[in-house]
Structure formats: structure tokens, C-alpha cells
Amino acid sequence: MKDFAATDAIDMLDDLIVCPQCDAVFRLKKPKNGERATCQRCHKALISPRRNAGLHIIAVALAVLFLIIGAAVFPFLTIDAAGNKNAVSILDAALAFAGGPMIFLSLATAALIIFVPLLRVLLTLYVLVPVVLDRPHARHAIVAFRLSEALRPWSMAEIFAIGCAVALVKVSDLAHVGFGPAFWMFGILVVLVIAQDSFMCKWSVWYRLEHPRNS
Amino acid sequence: MGTPVCGRCGHKLASRDPLSLQRVWAFWLMGLICYIPANIYPMLSTQTLFKVDESTIIAGAVELAHHGAFGIAAIILFASVVIPLAKFWAVAYLAISVKNPTGVSNYRRQLLYEVVEYIGRWSMIDIFVVAILSALVQLKTLASINPGPAAIFFALSVIFTMLSAQAFDSRLIWDIQAKEKGRTQ
């Protein structure tokens, strides 16, 4: 084994990439836009850059932000049976468990379908806007991005949407159910959230955070 | 170099977390314990004009099938019975397999882990259905739906199994291969 000076070792580290899933080490060769680098051993996508991915993500994130706020406030579903009417918003649905020990469940549901997706969108904007504008990154951007990635599995908007479909079928023979504006907003929201996740290349974001272009 | 935290994101560094498997089993057991009352207690109580009808997860799905909604009954059964049970089995199998080598290839087991991580969240669907129903169906005397105690146990069970799957370090799957190669060389 040859001994490397510490600086050599650090230079070499920049050329290496370790698969976060199976720990295999590869020599780094940045793929072109639209291509993807995958781990040879476990086939995880390591780097998948896209042209203008940052701009796309920001555009989608802004749309998601407004849709979440709209979907949370406007009536979501209305029900009508023999003259009794009821209209609920998503917040009402989340707070349905209020009362007694069920309050925990209320808070968890509200968090999973509204607050976690909302927080992820805000964190994404906070991290990516300076990066895309070629500014030095925002303060604590690194912590923010890490938090946003850690929250990913806890953002369950799309599952809630399927839950709606199931609930509708259950009620439909009991009463007449109508859709409020929030229902359609939420439908679009789900598609956008999935699109946003597929644009995001973690490696590229980390790389940009470490190497701002004009520094 | 030689620092215990990641120079990029500031996360604590450890080649392999020695407590990973312990956390997997701890959350796994909690999830299993919560899953039992989730199936015994009623999930929904439906009040119509004169009677109160309480149904557990499985009874609710069977009732849906009686009404002819087989697709929805299948979704509910799949999300709240098949997925959780398959998940308990899969996580336990993965955790045991990193200690005792099995014939199944690493790539297959990695795939199993990815499926478990991806599909686990979908079990929450039943909780959301209960939430929507109990918020929506509040028609005074005519009909009202309220959540039962099983809802809270079921939510806890899903959360604990998700934590259990996250605690599992997928790199442990590949360590066995590295060790075996080292032995033959």
C-alpha cells in the first residue's frame, strides 16, 4: 500500500461515490442530463440529473404549496341524506378523532396529510431557491434538506387520496355525496407531489450545496 | 477525516450501527403487540336510526363484500391485513437473514426490503378512511359514524412497523457477501 498525504486522500475522495444502500464504492463519473448512474451491485439509482430540474421542482413546489392551503380550508366532500347536510374540509377529517385519547390520532392524521407535506414543500423551496439562483445557500440549508429527506416517508397525501375513494364507496349507498373544490385540488396535489419526488436528484442537490457556482 | 460526523450533512457517522438490529426488533415487537387489539376491538361504530353497529376491520370488509363492493373490500383487506402481516414476516426474515446466511440472493433480499419500505405506508389507508367517514357522516339522528378504539392501536402498529423497517440497515444484507468473498480469497 502506498501512503497518501492527507490532501491527496481528500482529493481522491471527491472522485469516489459510495452506494448509500449497499456500501459498494465506485469511481465517480457524472452522468449527462437525462442519464442515470446506478449501483452495479444493488441497482439503486445513485445520480440522475435532469435539465432545469431545480426550476421544475420549485415550480411544482409552489403549486403544491397553494394547493395544500386551498385543499385544507375549502370544503372537501359534502353529504346529503333526507335533508340533513354536512360539508367537511380536510382539516375536519383530520380532527375527526378529537376527544379523549383519540386526540393523539387526530394530531397524527393532521400531521401526515397536511403538515408534513407542507413542511417538506417549504423546506424544499428554502433549500433550492438560492441554489437555482446561483446564490450562496441559505443558512442551515443543509439541516433543512436533511430534515426534508427524513420526512419523505411520513408524507402521506397520496394515501389519503385513495382513502377518500374507499370512503366514498362506503357512504354512497347511505347518502348522496358531492365533491367540493378541495377534492379536485387534492387530486392535482397528489400527482404533483409524486412528480416532485421523481425530479429530485439528491446527489445533485448535495453537490450544489457544497460547491456553490459563484464562490 | 477521522471526524465522527459527516462533513457534508452533519449526521453522526458509524460504519455499522451496532444497535440497528436491536431497534428493528424492539419496534417490530411493539408493532405486533399493537396489531392484536387493532383486530379485536371495533374500528367503526355506525349509528343509524335505532341501532348501533360496531365492526372490526375484518368484519367491515366482509360487510362491504356482502354489499357487492368486492374491489373496495379487497383493498381494505389487502391494506390492513395482508400488508401488515407480510411486513411482520418480511422484517423478521430480513433481520434473521443477516445473522444466519440463507440461500436467497442478496439482490432478492434488497428488493424485499425496498418493497417493505415502500408499501408499509399504505397500511394507513384504513385510518384515513375512518377519519373521513367519521367527519363526513354526522347527520344528527339519521346516521353517524364514530371511530372505535381499534383505530388508535392500528395507527400505532403501522407507525411502529415503519420505524422498524427504517431502523434496519440495508447495508447489513451486503456485508455477508463481502465477508464470504474475503474468506475465499
Do residues A160 and B122 touch, judged by C-beta distance below 8 A?
A: no
Residues A10 and A84 placed together within one structural domain of the fold:
no
Q: Greater confidence, B69 or A59? A: A59
Instruction: Identify all chain B residues contacting A82, using CB atoms and an 8 Å cutoff.
Output: 142
CATH assignment at residue A129: 1.20.140
A215: pLDDT strictly greater than 60: no
- Residue B11 pLDDT > 60, yes or no? yes
Average pLDDT over residues B158-170: 88
pLDDT band of A213, cuts 50, 70, 90: low
CB contact (8 A) between residue B1 and residue A24:
no
pLDDT digits (tens, 9 = 90+) for A131-161: 888 777 777 888 888 888 888 888 888 788 7
Does the beta-carbon distance from A95 to B135 stay under 8 Å? Answer: yes
A42, A76: one domain: no
Highest mean pLDDT among A88-102, B26-40, B51-65, B161-175: B26-40
Closest approach of chain A CAs to the CA of B125, in angstroms? 5
Q: What is the pLDDT of residue A100?
A: 65
Q: B131 CA to chain A: closest CA distance, Å?
A: 5
Beta-carbon separation of A113 and B128 below 8 A: yes
| Residue-level pLDDT at A87 | 77
Predicted confidence at residue B30, as pLDDT, reads 93
Domain co-membership, A23 together with A57:
no
Spell out which residues of chain A touch residue B142, defining contact as CB-CB under 8 Å: 81-82, 84
Give contacts of A210 with chain B, Cβ < 8 Å: 8
**Domains of chain B, each with CATH number or no CATH:** 28-178 (1.20.140)
A92: closest CA of chain B, how far (Å): 6
Most confident of the following: A20-29, A68-77, B144-153: B144-153
Q: State whether A41 and A122 are in the same domain.
A: no
> How far apart are the CA of B182 and the nearest CA of chain A, in angstroms?
15
Based on the fold, state whether residues A21 and A109 are members of the same structural domain.
no
Nearest-CA distance from A47 to chain B in Å?
A: 17
Q: B23-29 long-range CB contacts below 8 Å, 24 or more apart? A: B23/B163, B23/B164, B23/B167, B24/B91, B24/B95, B24/B164, B24/B165, B24/B167, B24/B168, B25/B95, B25/B164, B26/B164, B27/B160, B27/B161, B27/B163, B27/B164, B27/B167, B28/B88, B28/B91, B28/B92, B28/B95, B28/B160, B28/B161, B28/B164
The one-letter code for the residue type at A122 is L
Please enumerate in sequence order all residues whose Cβ is within 8 A of that of A66, keeping only pairs 6 or more positions apart, or say none. Answer: none
Q: How confident is residue A71, by pLDDT bands cut at 50, 70 and 90?
A: confident
Give the CA-trace dihedral at B138, B140, B143, B144, to 10 degrees: 40
B166 touches A: beta carbon within 8 Å? yes
pLDDT tens digits, B72-109: 788 888 888 888 899 999 999 888 888 877 777 778 88
**What is chain B's mean pLDDT, rounded?**
81
A43 and A69 share one domain: no
User: Is residue A26 domain-resident?
Assistant: yes
The closest CB to that of A166, out of B121, B125, B152, belongs to B125
Instruction: Judge whether A127 lies within some domain.
Output: yes
Are the C-beta atoms of residues B121 and A159 closer than 8 Å to each other?
yes
Partner-chain contact B1 A109, CB within 8 Å? no
Q: Do A109 and B140 touch (CB under 8 A)?
A: no
**Per the domain annotation, does A126 fall within a domain?**
yes
pLDDT score recorded for residue A183: 78
Greater model confidence, A10 or B93: B93
**pLDDT tops 60 at residue B173:** yes
Q: Which one of A18, A42, A114 makes the best mutation probe of the B interface by having the most chain B beta carbons within 10 Å?
A: A42
Residues of chain B with C-beta less than 8 angstroms from the C-beta of A177:
136
A63 and A154 part of one domain: yes
Between CA A118 and CA A69 the distance in angstroms is 8
Residue A5 maps to which CATH number?
A: 2.20.28
ipTM value, please give it.
Answer: 0.77
- State yes or no: pLDDT of A1 exceeds 50: no
Residue A40 belongs to a domain: yes
The size of the A-B interface in CB pairs under 8 A is 144
Do A76 and A114 share a structural domain? yes
Domain that holds residue A37: 1-49
Confidence category of residue A7, pLDDT binned at 50, 70, 90 = low
CB within 8 Å of chain A, chain B residues 3-22: 8-11
The answer to whether residues A84 and A41 belong to one domain is no
Q: Are A146 and A190 in the same domain?
A: yes
Residue B185 confidence class, pLDDT cut points 50, 70, 90 = very low
Mutate to test the interface with B, among A80, A105, A197 (most CBs of B within 10 A): A105
pLDDT tens digits, A37-55: 888 877 777 787 777 777 8
The verdict on a CB contact (< 8 Å) between B136 and A10 is: no
The yes-or-no verdict on residue B7 having pLDDT over 80 is: no
Is residue A215 in some structural domain? no
Question: Residue A145: inside a domain, yes or no?
Answer: yes
- Over residues A120-139, mean pLDDT: 83
Do A64 and A158 share a domain, yes or no? yes
Number of domains in chain A: 2
pLDDT score, position B184: 45
Is A83 part of any domain?
A: yes
Q: How far is B158 from chain A (nearest CA, A)?
A: 11
Q: Tens digit of pLDDT for each residue in A27-38?
A: 877 777 777 788
pLDDT at residue B181, as a whole number? 60
Are B1 and A163 an interchain contact pair (Cβ–Cβ within 8 Å)?
no
Residue A192 lies in a domain: yes
- Is A33 found in the same domain as A9? yes
